[in-house]
Amino acid sequence: AWKKYAPKPFTSTEEFEKAAVSHIETTLARSLYNCDEFAAYAGTSLAFRDRLVIDWNATQQNQTFADQKRVYYLSLEFLMGRALDNAMLNVQQKEVATKGLADLGFRIEDVISQEHDAALGNGGLGRLAACFLDSLASLNYPAWGYGLRYRYGIFKQEIIDGYQMEVPDYWLDFNPWEFPRHDVTVDIQFYGHVNKWQDEDGKQQTSWEGGEIVEAVAYDVPVPGYATGTTNNLRLWGSKAASGEFDFQKFNRGEYESSVADQQRAETISAVLYPNDNLERGKELRLKQQYFWCAASLYDIVRRFKKTKRAWKDFPNQVAIQLNDTHPTLAIPELMRILIDLEGLEWDEAWQITQSTFGYTNHTVLPEALEKWSVPLMQHLLPRHLQIIFDINLIFLQFVERSFPKEREMLGRVSIIEESNPKMVRMAYLALIGSHKVNGVAELHSDLIKTTIFKDFVKIYGPDKFTNVTNGITPRRWLHQANPRLSELIASKLGGFDFLKDLTMLHKLESFVDDKEFRKEFAEIKYANKVRLAKYIKDTNGVTVDPKALFDIQVKRIHEYKRQQLNIFGVIKRYLDIKAMSADERKKLAPRVNIFGGKAAPGYWMAKTVIHLICEVGRIVNADPDVGDLLKVIFLEDYNVSKAEIIVPASDISEHISTAGTEASGTSNMKFVLNGGLIIGTCDGANIEITREVGENNIFLFGNLAEDVDELRHAHLYGTYELEPSLSHVFDAIRSGMFGDAGAFSALVNGIVDHGDYYLVSDDFASYCKTHEMIDEAYRNQEEWITKCITSVARMGFFSSDRCIDEYAESIWNVEPLAPKQNG
Ligand code: 26W
């Protein structure tokens, strides 16, 4: 049915050309005679933007008129990547643009690559938010994203002499995809004090007064659904000094410099994305960002609700707010403040409304990632919110005390306030208590939160408050856009592109697994994608790699729990083995290219050491004539979304090798398999469900299980534990200076040898290496390999973010899709 709602297309190549050229000449004021690739990008984007705006306005009108429940997805990160290619594909008009641009003398790939990535995120959590927006629009859900408009996204990574350097990512020079709404602003208050008094009726009143005001300005980004008229809105808040107040006064008093300084201080709030992934640092500016964005978003949501003139009790029937991790948890006390202090509701009614409105998604169990804010800091910055949090906690603890009178020790454990010095607010507990549903992001992860960090809360609220929604990825970007040839091939077998909206249709590919022609084309496409990546590697790293070699890829944030160190130690072992072989033995080996990519948080010294080791191993191995094409080691600089679109379709094997129980889900694992690659992985996160879907024969699992991790860690610290001998060999090589200054890597090695090997590298090393030998063996039999790949692709339907969003809609939000009005 969605076909009949497909938006109005450019009716001809000429029409597109005319629109693009007109923008180049008038909007950009550039002559066609010096039209470069950048101008072509700008003209093409503006031409498509005009199209999107029509659908966007129609969608907003339609949703307002329909007056049904909306979803608000609050996320401090949206890792969108580039917009143009996605927009052209989602409105199904890329061919027109390809032809039109060719007429004008451009290759569309070159034009697309002019666009700067919108990199407003660190990794998995931010990219998940972006996939969700694509699915929400594609499935016609009335939904808004709310985030921050950082002037600097995640830093750009440069590798200089084998070390990571960070360069600021200023991305807003030319951004045709955002619409500043200078008329949509919200005043946000910080600091100040709380006043309490009794009004004439004897009713207790509370207000928050004084302090300072910063203005939030809305910037709207259209989010087009695939093959539908629905174009949703992503609203990003930018900060600026509140207009007309002290700045003008100061100006008039001749304090020009200090008024500019105030302005800069206000703009600092939305200046930069914090580059830590899974590490909480408790910085005041970060708390300011969180409140600024929560308060602006809630004001906006409440304003929209109030226009409907409904009673407050209807709020949860009109509004579902999803908290993407604990970063937006302040939205809970903020809604309570609005309802009680500003709207005059009683506590119980306000609390009932609040709890029914929010849902909370947990994305990590790593203790160092759990957000805690010091009570003194909150008292200073948000005095009224701290009071509300104390009240929420008091009422909650009284309830726990009544329900479990014999378990007094539980009170300290579940209190929102940690009795440390200074006291800390545990944001995960606040998010859980203030929401009606809590979900993890893969089955194992959702089980683990119930038995570890939230164990007591399962007892308190019962198991029904907790649910699982396994993550997904959008097949539009991660198949159709990143791998157009594979998408075409699949469409040719399934009778069109409907599978992009119902990914379970992929299962029909299984009947083509023995089809000779299909297999040949499938293999050719993988090869062509590897050729493209090989060319990219040559251009960026200057290293020649053989596209016939097995491409083994690990791209993700660099983190000890993700165990890039395990991978590079395995590579070193392979290198040592090759060095020890005779020429005859070497001839029997399957050539490999080991590709790494990912950013280390700027202050994460150990992660930076891992990058350095990878680069140094590459430097030695790639120049060793004994090795030749048998082994190449590549570190790709500045891994991001647009680079992932080149890298992901080119893998034979990708690595998802976290210590069991640490990777909540992983989503790149899904991307790689959907693109016809196999994976080596631990029994962790979504790897487990991928195994269930594709079958044990089509995945290379290794390593210890989550349930054994505690005991193994204990054995490292106290038991009769011995370092894996083959890993000892690797360490000897590193210590010998084979890969440059051994001292540079001593902390990395000692962490495993002397300091407890927290991530169990040694425990999993032998099984990891053995599994890689099985991979070599399997790859030798190309026919069987291709069968595994095709079978896996056919079984990946479950991992569409469309399935995931439907599950959220059904089990958490209780919202229905809204069909777009037909254009015309
Ligand atoms: C406060 C510092 C901080 C920053 C970011 C703590 C935690 C985060 C994120 C929650 C980390 C993150 O991106 N988690 C990833 O979320 C993905 C989407 O659900 C999962 O697939 C990954 O397994 C998980 O690591």
DSSP states along 145-175? EEEE--SB-SPEEEEETTEEEEE--B--SS-
**Residue 244: predicted pLDDT:** 60
Q: Cα(706) to centroid of ligand 1, in Å?
A: 19
- 667 as an active site residue: the answer is yes
Per-residue 3-state assignment (H helix, E strand, C coil) for 796-819? CHHHEHHHHHHHHHHHHHCCCCCC
User: Which residue, by CA, sits nearest to atom 22 of ligand 1?
Assistant: 666
Distance 121 CA to ligand 1 centre (A): 10
Q: Please tell me the distance from the alpha carbon of residue 604 to that of residue 611, in angstroms, as a whole number.
A: 11
Q: How far is the CA of 368 from the centre of ligand 1 (A)?
A: 12
Band (pLDDT 50/70/90 cuts) for residue 2 is very low
Best residue among 363, 368, 441, 668 to mutate for probing ligand 1's pocket (most ligand atoms within 8 Å of CB) is 363
pLDDT digits (tens, 9 = 90+) for 436-484: 999 999 999 999 999 999 999 999 999 999 999 999 999 999 999 999 9
Q: How far is the CA of 385 from the centre of ligand 1 (A)?
A: 26
Say whether pLDDT at 701 is over 60: yes
Over residues 562-590, the mean pLDDT reads: 97
pLDDT over 80 at 823, yes or no = no
CA 665 to centroid of ligand 1, rounded, Å: 9
Nearest to 721 by CA among 747, 754, 759, 770: 754
Cα atoms in the Cβ-side hemisphere of radius 13 Å centred on 390: 11
Residues with CB under 6 A from ligand 1: 122-125, 128, 276-280, 325, 363-364, 369, 371, 441, 471, 663-667, 685
In the predicted structure, residue 728 carries a pLDDT above the cut 50: yes
Place of tokens 């009284």: 398
Q: Which of 49, 70, 363, 480 is catalytic?
A: 363
Between residues 298 and 4, which one has the greater pLDDT? 298
Instruction: Determine contact, residues 129/80, Cβ cutoff 8 Å.
Output: no
pLDDT in tens, 643-658: 999 999 999 999 999 9
- Best mutation site among 120, 122, 277 for ligand 1 pocket (most ligand atoms within 8 Å of CB): 277
Examine the residue annotation and report whether 562 is marked as an active-site residue of this protein.
yes
Q: Whose CA is nearest to atom 6 of ligand 1?
A: 278
Q: How far is the CA of 600 from the centre of ligand 1 (A)?
A: 14
Checking if the pLDDT of 3 tops 90, the result is no
> Looking at the predicted structure, is the pLDDT value of residue 1 above 80?
no
Helix (H, G, I), strand (E, B) or coil at 38: helix
Which of the following is catalytic: 556, 599, 643, 656? 556
Q: Which helix (H) or strand (E) holds 332?
A: helix 331-337
Residue 693 has pLDDT above 80, yes or no: yes
pLDDT the model gives residue 254: 80
CA distance 378 to 364: 24
Crossing angle for the helix pair 13-22 and 94-103, nearest 10 degrees? 70
The model's pLDDT over 370-417, given as tens digits with 9 standing for 90+, comes to 999 999 999 999 999 999 999 999 999 999 999 999 999 999 999 999
For residue 81, pLDDT over 60 is answered with: yes
Tell me, what's the pLDDT at 251?
73
Q: CA 333 to CA 344: how far, in whole Å?
A: 15
pLDDT of residue 690: 99
Q: Which two tokens stand for residue 554?
A: 């690990």
* Same fold for the pair 69-81+120-471+807-813 and 475-799: yes
CATH topology classification for 475-799 = Rossmann fold (3.40.50)
Task: Kindly report, residue by residue over 579-636, the tens digit of the pLDDT.
Answer: 999 999 999 999 999 999 999 999 999 999 999 999 999 999 999 999 999 999 999 9
Q: Band the pLDDT of 252: cuts 50, 70, 90.
A: confident
Q: Nearest 5°: phi and psi at 16?
A: -65, -45
For ligand 1, the distance from its centroid to the CA atom of residue 71, given in whole angstroms, is: 21
pLDDT digits (tens, 9 = 90+) for 258-273: 888 888 999 999 999 9
Which tokens go with 472? Answer: 């997904």
User: Which residue minimizes the CA distance to atom 7 of ligand 1?
Assistant: 278
Catalytic residue among 59, 357, 470, 667: 667
Query: What is the C-alpha end-to-end distance of the chain, expressed in Å?
Result: 17
Q: Is the pLDDT of residue 824 over 50?
A: no
Report residue 320 as tokens: 């579902």
Q: Enumerate the domain spans of the chain.
A: 1-66+83-116, 69-81+120-471+807-813, 475-799
Token pair 């939305």: residue: 270
- Backbone angles phi and psi of 614, in degrees to 5: -60, -45
pLDDT in tens, 92-134: 999 999 999 999 999 999 999 999 999 999 999 999 999 999 9
Residues 14-29, mean pLDDT to the nearest whole number: 96
Q: What is the mean pLDDT of residues 554-559?
A: 98
CATH class of this structure's domain 69-81+120-471+807-813: alpha beta
Round to whole Å and give the CA distance between 309 and 776.
66
Q: Which of 557, 559, 573, 713 is catalytic?
A: 557
Residue 243: what pLDDT?
A: 75
* Residue range 283-306: mean pLDDT, rounded: 98
**Mean pLDDT confidence for 148-157:** 98
- What is the DSSP annotation of 730-755? HHHHHHTTTTS-GGGGHHHHHHHHTS
pLDDT in tens, 777-788: 999 999 999 999
Question: Is 682 in the active site?
Answer: no
Which among 562, 599, 612, 772 is annotated as catalytic? Answer: 562
What is the CA 24 to chain-centroid distance, rounded?
34
On whether the CB atoms of residues 164 and 636 are closer than 8 A, the answer is no
Tokens of 335: 């809604």
Contact 233, 60 (CB under 8 A): yes
Query: Does 422 sit behind a cis peptide bond, omega within 30 degrees of 0 on the bond before it?
Result: yes
Residue nearest to atom 18 of ligand 1 (CA): 125
Query: What is the residue type of 510?
Result: E
**pLDDT of amino acid 245:** 57
State the average pLDDT for the chain.
Answer: 96
Mean pLDDT (whole number) for 229-242: 97
Instruction: Give yes or no for residue 246 having a pLDDT over 70.
Output: no
805, 132 in Cβ contact below 8 A? yes
Q: Which of 269, 259, 263 is nearest to 241 (CA)?
A: 263
Q: Do 6 and 228 touch, CB atoms closer than 8 A?
A: yes
Q: pLDDT confidence of 61, banded at 50, 70, 90?
A: very high
